[in-house]
Structures are given as structure tokens and as C-alpha cells.
């Protein structure tokens, strides 16, 4: 029986890169996104061609009822959940200096990036615990996709940085709480990745990368993150719970 992975924000960008890698590694896939299912039909068909059973769980992470509906759909379709990948995230609608940023932007970003992921993890974790109790051979894990912004300060998008720093602590909290059930929790921390979210600052980062921003002198790709997530999901790091996997091309390596 195949393992099942739920990937939030899995219909584009980093999330799609993760979905592709998990599908090719033998997982059945539940993709979450906010768009109508008709808008992601091509993506779902692509994933199905790997041999995976694929479903779409439309929903907004910031909504408690939507989070519950996602889990219910996975349960009704597959009857199990082995891997939750908390990938969905939004940037501020407008980048503003922290001296001018609005409460509305702060609330919007944290409701999705931090609160939504935190409480979806709570739902998934309780289900995984129940599965473990009913089947000692059950294997599950939770993987949080954060960002180098968890530790690298960007004063024109403070709400985003704080949301990702919160995800880092949530990783440690759930790792500790789920340790007794042998359900590891990981954080994957991408750097500058070529996605829709970064397309608006492409020229800026093209120049910075040329000038040595990263040790590996290129943009990161969604599949770079996907490969790291897949390695965790298949169980290659069973003794590393609560840890951070950097996928940043060496950007955060201190250099002189």
C-alpha cells in the first residue's frame, strides 16, 4: 500500500516541485491550493502520469473549516495520511518598511503562513497518532517548508520573516511532542528559489547571485526543495527529528 502525502500549496512553485518528487518516489498525493480545481487540472494530470493517485483539496489554510475539510477529504479518499508537507505561504501584498507596515498585512500573512500551518499540523498529528496506536508499523512524518527568512532579516517584509521564524519553533515543538510516537518533524529552509513569488524581484536577485550571494552560483529550483523533502519523506533521516535542512545554495554560510 502506497504512503499518502498531503502538500499544501502544492499546485505551483515549490509545492509542485515537492509533489512531483513525492509522486515519482511512490507516494499517492493530495494537493492543496486555493484555486478552483478546474484551474489546476493540467497539474493533477501530470502528477497522475507517474502512477500516483492524486486528489485536489481546495481550501484556504487560514480557514479552520477549510483545514478540517482537507483532512476529511484525504481520510475519505485514502483512509490514511503518512506525510504532511506544510508548504503553502504568502508574501505581503505590498512590501513595506517595518516602520510603515500595517496590522492588516501582518494578520493576513501570519494567518496563512503560521497559524494555518500550525493548526493543520495539529489535525494531522492527532490523526497520525491514532494511526500509530492502531498499527505499530505505521510510518509518518511532518515536514515544514520555511525560508532563510526565518533568520535572515528583510526589513521590508517583516511579517513574512516572523511567520517563517514561527514555523521554525513550531517544528521543534511538534518534534518534541510527537517523539514518543516516533513521528519525526523536520524543517526544510529554502533560499532564493525561482517561483511566481520571486518573479517580481528577478533582476535584483540575478545581479546579487552574479555578485556572489550564494556559494552555488545559481537560482534554486523547486525540484531542489522537492528532492530534499522526498528524502525526508521516504525515511532517510529517522534520527534527525526537529532539525533544519538548508536548501539555499550556501547563501547563509558565513564568509569573509
- All structural domains of the chain, each given as residue ranges with its CATH number in brackets, are 4-247 (3.40.50.720)
pLDDT of residue 211: 96
Give the bridge partners for 28, in sequence order.
Answer: 4
User: What H or E segment, with its residue span, contains residue 185?
Assistant: strand 185-190
pTM: 0.97
| CA dist., res. 35 & res. 76, Å (int) | 21
Give the bridge partners for 78, in sequence order.
Answer: none
Mean pLDDT value across residues 46-56: 98
Mean pLDDT value across residues 138-163: 98
pLDDT at residue 111 greater than cutoff 90: yes
Q: Are 186 and 144 within 8 A, CB to CB?
A: yes
pLDDT of residue 166: 98
pLDDT of residue 199: 81
| CA dist., res. 84 & res. 71, Å (int) | 10
Active site residue 118: no
Which residues, in sequence order, are CB contacts of 207 under 8 Å at separation 6+? none
Catalytic residue among 160, 186, 205, 239: 160
> What are the start-end ranges of the H helices in the chain?
13-24, 41-48, 64-78, 103-110, 117-134, 158-178, 202-210, 222-233
Amino acid at each position: 500500500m502506497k504512503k499518502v502525502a498531503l502538500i499544501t500549496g502544492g499546485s505551483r512553485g515549490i509545492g509542485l516541485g515537492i509533489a512531483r518528487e513525492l509522486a515519482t518516489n511512490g507516494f499517492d498525493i493530495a494537493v492543496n491550493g486555493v484555486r478552483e480545481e478546474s484551474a489546476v487540472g493540467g497539474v493533477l494530470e501530470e502528477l497522475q502520469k507517474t502512477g500516483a493517485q492524486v486528489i485536489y483539496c481546495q481550501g484556504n489554510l487560514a480557514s479552520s473549516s477549510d483545514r478540517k475539510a482537507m483532512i476529511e477529504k484525504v481520510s475519505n479518499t485514502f483512509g490514511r495520511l503518512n506525510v504532511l508537507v506544510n508548504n503553502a505561504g504568502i508574501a505581503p501584498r505590498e512590501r513595506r518598511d517595518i516602520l510603515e507596515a500595517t496590522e492588516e498585512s501582518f494578520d493576513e500573512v501570519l494567518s496563512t503562513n503560521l497559524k494555518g500551518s500550525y493548526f493543520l499540523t495539529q489535525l494531522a498529528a492527532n490523526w497520525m497518532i491514532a494511526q500509530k496506536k492502531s498499527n505499530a508499523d505505521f510510518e509518518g512524518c511532518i515536514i515544514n517548508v520555511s525560508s532563510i527568512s526565518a533568520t535572515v532579516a528583510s526589513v521590508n517584509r517583516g511579517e513574512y520573516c516572523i511567520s517563517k521564524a514561527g514555523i521554525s519553533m513550531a517544528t521543534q515543538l511538534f518534534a518534541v511532542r510527537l517523539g514518543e510516537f516516533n513521528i519525526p518533524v523536520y524543517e526544510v529552509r529554502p533560499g532564493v528559489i525561482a517561483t511566481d513569488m520571486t518573479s517580481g524581484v528577478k533582476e535584483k536577485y540575478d545581479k546579487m547571485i552574479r555578485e556572489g550571494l550564494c556559494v552555488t552560483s545559481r537560482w534554486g529550483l523547486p525540484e531542489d526543495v522537492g528532492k530534499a523533502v522526498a528524502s525526508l519523506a521516504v525515511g532517510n533521516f529517522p534520527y534527525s527529528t526537529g532539525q533544519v535542512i538548508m536548501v539555499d545554495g550556501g547563501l547563509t554560510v558565513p564568509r569573509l
